[in-house]
Structures are given as C-alpha cells and as structure tokens.
C-alpha cells in the first residue's frame, strides 16, 4: 500500500490554526486518510523545531495533535506520532549524512537565502546566525520520509526542493548499498482552497485577518460580523462572485445549500442576515470539533497517550527497517 506522509512543525503561536487551514488542508487530509488505498502518516516534527522556545514547542505539539484529533483524524486508522518518539529517525539521519553531498545542501533555498542575506549586509560574516540544523535540515527531513518508505509527500511549494533532495539522497544510497529506499515524490497542493479573510484578502496569519478554527462561539460570531461587504442594502440583489461571505459559505456548505444561498443573494438578502447564516453554518460544523478540542486541551495526558501509542505502531515499522539499513552499511555483529 502506498505511503502518504506529512510532518507539521510545532512552532505555531497559540490558537494559530484558522478556518482556512481547516477547509484547505485539514478537512481534505482527514478525508484522504479514510481512503483505504493509501496508508497515511502524520507526525509532529519537533526535532525540526528545536532551538526556539521549548515551552511553546510543547504547547504547540499539544494544540496541533488535539486539533487533528478533534477534526476527525482517527489514530486507529492512520499513523499519528511525534518525531522525537522515534529514535530510529535521528540514527537514520546520521547514516544519510554519510551519503549526502555537501554541495547538494549548499543549494538548499532556505540555507542559501540566509547566506545571501548575510552577504548583503556589510560587515557581516556569511555564516552569521546559521546553525548546522539549518544546513542539514533537508537530511533530517529525508530521514522522516525514507524511514517509512513514503511514496507521496503532500507539502506546500516551499518544501518541494526538500522532497527532491530526499529523493536524491535515497537514490545515492540505493546505488551504493543496493535497493533499499522508495523514491518519494512531492504532491504540491496548488489546487488547495484558500479562503478570503476578514478584510477580503487571502486568510493568513501574516495579514492578521483570520478566523481562528476553535474560537469560542461568541468570538466566532463577532469575527464573522466583521467580514467586509459592500454598501448594498437589504432588498438590493447582490453578486455572489464578489462576496467574501459567499466564498466562505461555499467552502463549508453542500452544493444544495450553496444554491439556496445564491438564490437569496439574487433576492437581495441583507448583509446582516447573510452573516448570521454564515455564522450558523460554520458553527454547526465546528461546534462538535471545538468541544472535543477543548476536552483534549484539558486532558493533555490523553493526547500524550495517543502519541505514544502512535509511536509504538510507527516503531514496529522503523525498527526492523533500520536494522536492515544498519546491516547494509556495515553496522553488524562480527560473528553470530
């Protein structure tokens, strides 16, 4: 069965996930994970996040895991684990270091951008502020991917190069030590739905225009009432193609519900009424997940247990595979 794997770095600010992440990424990923023809792996990439605020990293790990569980990811059907619970990953990372050309890492966009910025600043050392973790980030990511014989890696465009590097590293290893790793491919989510935010621009944390996924009901209502509209009054026909409210509604609703609201636009529904309709529709979908999220956030031990059980399942795969890899590279007993 084809393995589809993706990692999420626990670097977010509290309450960072928004309804755009939900409809654009989380909901489709949960749907895809129910597809029996692929095996889905989701993990919290905490090794990739070391170096920032440690307490924040722990908090973010809890939030992300609780969010995924709350929106319906079933840990009995998918692999859901924390990277740092899999000691085979750092060991494979080192083995892959030994098969990775330095020149390949020199070409990584993130590293190159950091060097270029230093070079553009007079009097600065080109390596200022650059850790080895930035330099070899793609090797750790390659270990995440190759450890589980991943075929498809759903990622944003910014991560495409990293997946290609994992492929290069796998090829080199296979060439040297014999067929071992599956060659992974990035699945770029270009067609992912993006939602307009409160001000009509793309919903994004950096624009400060988001509706947080698990905002309490009152706050959710207040935020939706703030979404930008034009100045047409009640009774005047309105154009759904030019309405953030409509676009957001459509992302949550069924085709039939969307058609019904389209008709109300033609009849001239007032913006206040439309906001109420939108609030009720979103809240109907989110409320059960929000309740579950709040329950899990109040029970971190339960979330911890889910991650530990996930790691046990994942290690049932990584342990025997790493044993094979070790033997291939010459880490094996002198005699039996």
User: Which residues contact ligand TRP by CB under 6 A?
Assistant: 5-7, 9, 45, 48, 141, 144-145, 153, 155, 159
Q: Residue 93: how many CB atoms within 10 A of its CB?
A: 20
How far apart, in Å, do the first and last CA atoms of the chain sit?
A: 34
Q: Which residue has the tokens 């684990």?
A: 81
How near is the Cβ of 230 to ligand TRP at its closest, in Å? 37
How near is the Cβ of 84 to ligand TRP at its closest, in Å? 12
Cβ distance to ligand TRP smaller for residue 61 or 243? 61
Q: DSSP string covering 36-96, please?
A: TTEEEEEEE--GGGTTS-HHHHHHHHHHHHHHHHHTT--TTTSEEEEGGG-THHHHHHHHH
Q: Measured at CB, which residue is nearest to ligand TRP?
A: 7
Strand order in the sheet with 152-155: 79-82, 38-44, 2-8, 152-155, 185-188
How near is the Cβ of 192 to ligand TRP at its closest, in Å? 14
Cβ distance to ligand TRP smaller for residue 141 or 251? 141
How near is the Cβ of 111 to ligand TRP at its closest, in Å? 13
How near is the Cβ of 183 to ligand TRP at its closest, in Å? 14
How near is the Cβ of 87 to ligand TRP at its closest, in Å? 16
Cβ distance to ligand TRP smaller for residue 6 or 243? 6
Residue 29: which residues within 8 A CB-CB, separation 6 or more? 6, 40, 42, 73, 154
How near is the Cβ of 315 to ligand TRP at its closest, in Å? 17
Cβ distance to ligand TRP smaller for residue 16 or 232? 16
Cα gap 270→210, rounded to integer Å: 23
Cβ distance to ligand TRP smaller for residue 39 or 48? 48
Cα gap 203→25, rounded to integer Å: 13
Rama region for 120: left / alpha / beta (φ>0; ψ in -120 to 50; rest): alpha
Q: What is the Rg, in whole angstroms, of the alpha carbon atoms belonging to the chain?
A: 23
Cβ distance to ligand TRP smaller for residue 30 or 141? 141
How near is the Cβ of 165 to ligand TRP at its closest, in Å? 11
268 SS3 class: coil
Cβ distance to ligand TRP smaller for residue 88 or 248? 88
> Is residue 132 within 8 Å of residue 103, measured between CB atoms?
no
Q: What is the largest CA-CA distance in the chain?
A: 87
Cβ distance to ligand TRP smaller for residue 43 or 293? 43
């Amino acid at each position: 069965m084809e393995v589809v794997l993706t990692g999420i770095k626990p670097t977010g600010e509290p309450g960072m996930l928004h309804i755009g992440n939900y409809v654009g990424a989380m909901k489709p990923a949960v749907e895809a994970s129910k597809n029996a023809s692929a095996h889905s792996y989701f993990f919290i990439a905490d090794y990739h996040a070391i170096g920032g605020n440690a307490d924040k990293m722990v908090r973010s790990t809890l939030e992300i895991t609780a969010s995924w569980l709350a929106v319906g990811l079933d840990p009995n059907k998918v692999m859901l684990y924390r990277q740092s619970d899999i000691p085979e990953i750092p060991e494979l990372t080192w083995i892959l270091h030994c098969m990775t050309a330095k020149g390949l890492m020199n070409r990584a966009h993130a590293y190159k951008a950091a060097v270029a910025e230093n070079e553009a600043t007079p009097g600065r050392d080109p390596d200022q502020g650059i850790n080895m973790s930035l330099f070899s980030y793609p090797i750790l990511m390659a270990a995440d991917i190759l450890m589980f014989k991943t075929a498809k890696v759903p990622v944003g465009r910014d991560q495409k190069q990293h997946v290609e590097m994992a492929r290069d590293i796998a090829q080199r290893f296979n060439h040297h030590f014999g067929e071992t790793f599956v060659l992974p491919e990035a699945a770029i989510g270009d067609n992912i739905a993006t939602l307009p935010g409160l001000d009509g621009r793309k919903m994004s944390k950096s624009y400060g225009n988001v509706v947080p996924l698990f905002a309490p009901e009152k706050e959710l209502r207040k935020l939706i009432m703030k979404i930008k509209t034009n100045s047409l009054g009640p009774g005047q026909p309105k154009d759904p193609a030019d309405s953030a409210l409509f676009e957001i509604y459509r992302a949550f609703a069924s085709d039939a519900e969307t058609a019904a609201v389209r008709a109300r636009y033609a009849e001239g529904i007032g913006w206040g009424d439309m906001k109420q309709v939108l609030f009720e529709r979103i809240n109907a979908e989110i409320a059960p997940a929000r309740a579950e999220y709040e329950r899990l956030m109040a029970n971190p031990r339960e979330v911890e247990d889910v991650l530990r059980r996930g790691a046990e399942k994942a290690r049932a795969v990584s342990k025997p595979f790493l044993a094979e890899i070790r033997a291939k590279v010459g880490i094996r007993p002198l005699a039996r």
